[in-house]
C-alpha cells in the first residue's frame, strides 16, 4: 500500500461537539492503526460562515484529548491559489460553465416544469445555464455532471457502509465549485486539498457520505487519485436527528478528557478504558476494527 495519510477537516463554524469528536477520534485511530500520518485541516473556505477564534478552540480541544497532528495544521483560507488553478484547469477542459441562476430562478424553473420541488434543501439544478450564453453577473461556476462520453454514475466502496452508488446528475445536478460571491465551495476545496496533501484515506461522519460521489467525479475531472473512504456513525440529538447546534449540540466539556473520549469511543463500538488518555488511545488503536482496509 502507498503511504497512509489521513486527516481531520473541521469547519470552524463552532467548537467541536460530541459528533465531531467521533470523526476526529476515528480518523486519528485509523491513521495510527495503519502506521500512517494524521493531518488537521481547518476548512474555513466559506469565509462568511467562519467564526473567528473557533479554529484555535478546536485545536485546543483536540490537544486536550491527546489528538495531535503529525504536521502543522493548514487553513483553507490560505490556499485560494490552489483552488483557482483547479478552476482554471476545469475551465480549460470545458468541465465547468458560468451560471447566473439564483436559488429563486432554480425554484421557478421547477415550478414552470410542473415538477414537484425536491424535498431536500439543496435544490436539484435543472441545467438551465448548461448551454446558455447569458452573461449576467455575478456568476457562479458549475461542474458538468454529464458528458456524452462519460457517465455521471459514480460507484464507490465505503469501508464501513459497503458499496455505494449515485447518479450525480439526477441526485444533485451540475454543482457549484465557485459561488457568485467568489468563494470556492467545499466540494472543490476538499478535493484539491486531499489531492495536494496526498490524503490516501478519508475518515469522516456519515452525514458527509452523500458528498463522496461528487468528490470522486471531481477527482476524475482533475485527474487526481481517489482516496479510500470510511464514514463513521453519527451521534444523534434528542430529536433523533444528526447532532447539530440546532438540536442541542453543545461545545464539548473536556474537563475530564478520558470521560469525553470514552463517550466518543462507545459510538465507534470500542470498549471503555480506564487509566490515562495515552493508554486509552493505544488500546483503541489495537482494537480498531478497520485496520485491514
Ligand atoms: N469540513 C467538513 C465538516 O466539518 C468536513 C469535510 C470532510 O471531512 O471532508 O463538516
Residue 43, ligand 1, Cβ within 6 A: yes
The predicted model scores a pTM of: 0.92
Q: How far is the CA of 3 from the centre of ligand 1 (A)?
A: 22
* Cβ atoms within 10 Å of 223's Cβ, excluding its own: 9
Q: What is the pLDDT of residue 109?
A: 81
Distance between CA atoms of residues 261 and 127, nearest Å: 46
Check whether 107 has a pLDDT greater than 90.
no
Distance between CA atoms of residues 49 and 248, nearest Å: 19
Distance between CA atoms of residues 32 and 5, nearest Å: 10
The three grid cell numbers given for residue 231, joined into one nine-digit string: 464514514
Average pLDDT over residues 58-69: 97
Q: How far is the CA of 44 from the centre of ligand 1 (A)?
A: 10
Domains of the chain (ranges, CATH numbers): 5-78+195-287 (3.40.50.620), 81-178 (3.90.800.10)
Residue 280, ligand 1, Cβ within 6 A: no
Residue 142, ligand 1, Cβ within 6 A: no
Average pLDDT over residues 90-115: 86
Q: Which of 43, 213, 245 to mutate to test the pocket of ligand 1 (most atoms within 8 A of CB)?
A: 43
Q: How confident is the prediction for the chain on average, in pLDDT?
A: 91
Average pLDDT over residues 109-138: 73
Lay out the sheet containing 140-143: strands in order across.
96-99, 140-143, 175-178
Q: What is the pLDDT of residues 37-62, one digit of tens each?
A: 999 999 999 999 999 999 999 999 99
Answer whether 237's CB lies under 8 Å from 248's CB: yes
Give the model's confidence band at 222: pLDDT under 50 very low, under 70 low, under 90 confident, else very high.
Answer: very high
Residue 46, ligand 1, Cβ within 6 A: no
Q: How far is the CA of 11 from the centre of ligand 1 (A)?
A: 6
**Least confident segment among 27-31, 53-57, 105-109, 216-220:** 105-109
Q: What is the pLDDT of residue 117?
A: 62
Q: What is the pLDDT of residues 160-184, one digit of tens each?
A: 999 999 999 989 999 999 999 999 9
Check whether 98 has a pLDDT greater than 90.
yes
Residue 199, ligand 1, Cβ within 6 A: no
Q: What is the pLDDT of residue 237?
A: 76
Atom of ligand 1 nearest to the CA of 10: 4
Amino acid at each position: 500500500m502507498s503511504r497512509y495519510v489521513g486527516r481531520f477537516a473541521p469547519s470552524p463554524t463552532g467548537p467541536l461537539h460530541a459528533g465531531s469528536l467521533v470523526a476526529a477520534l476515528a480518523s486519528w485511530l485509523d491513521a495510527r492503526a495503519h502506521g500512517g500520518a494524521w493531518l488537521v485541516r481547518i476548512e474555513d473556505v466559506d469565509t462568511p460562515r467562519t467564526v473567528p477564534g473557533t479554529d484555535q478552540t478546536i485545536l485546543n480541544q483536540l490537544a486536550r484529548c491527546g489528538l495531535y497532528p503529525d504536521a502543522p495544521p493548514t487553513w483553507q483560507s490560505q490556499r485560494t491559489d490552489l483552488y483557482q488553478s483547479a478552476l482554471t484547469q476545469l475551465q480549460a477542459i470545458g468541465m465547468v460553465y458560468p451560471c447566473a441562476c439564483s436559488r429563486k430562478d432554480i425554484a421557478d424553473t421547477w415550478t414552470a416544469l410542473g415538477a414537484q420541488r425536491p424535498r431536500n434543501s439543496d435544490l436539484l439544478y435543472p441545467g438551465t445555464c448548461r448551454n446558455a450564453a447569458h452573461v449576467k453577473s455575478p456568476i457562479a461556476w458549475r461542474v458538468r455532471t454529464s458528458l456524452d462520453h462519460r457517465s455521471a454514475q459514480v460507484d464507490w466502496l465505503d469501508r464501513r457502509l459497503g458499496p455505494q452508488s449515485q447518479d450525480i446528475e439526477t441526485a444533485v445536478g451540475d454543482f457549484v465549485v465557485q459561488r457568485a460571491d467568489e468563494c470556492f465551495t467545499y466540494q472543490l476545496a476538499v478535493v484539491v486539498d486531499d489531492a495536494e496533501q496526498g490524503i490516501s484515506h478519508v475518515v469522516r461522519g456519515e452525514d458527509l457520505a452523500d458528498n463522496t460521489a461528487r468528490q470522486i467525479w471531481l477527482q476524475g475531472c482533475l485527474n487526481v487519485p481517489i482516496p479510500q473512504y470510511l464514514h463513521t456513525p453519527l451521534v444523534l440529538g434528542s430529536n433523533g436527528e444528526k447532532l447539530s447546534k440546532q438540536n442541542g449540540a453543545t461545545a464539548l466539556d473536556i474537563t475530564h478528557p478520558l470521560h469525553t473520549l470514552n463517550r466518543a469511543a462507545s459510538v465507534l463500538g470500542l470498549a471503555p478504558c480506564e487509566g490515562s488518555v495515552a493508554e486509552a488511545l493505544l488500546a483503541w488503536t489495537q482494537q480498531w476494527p478497520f485496520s485491514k482496509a
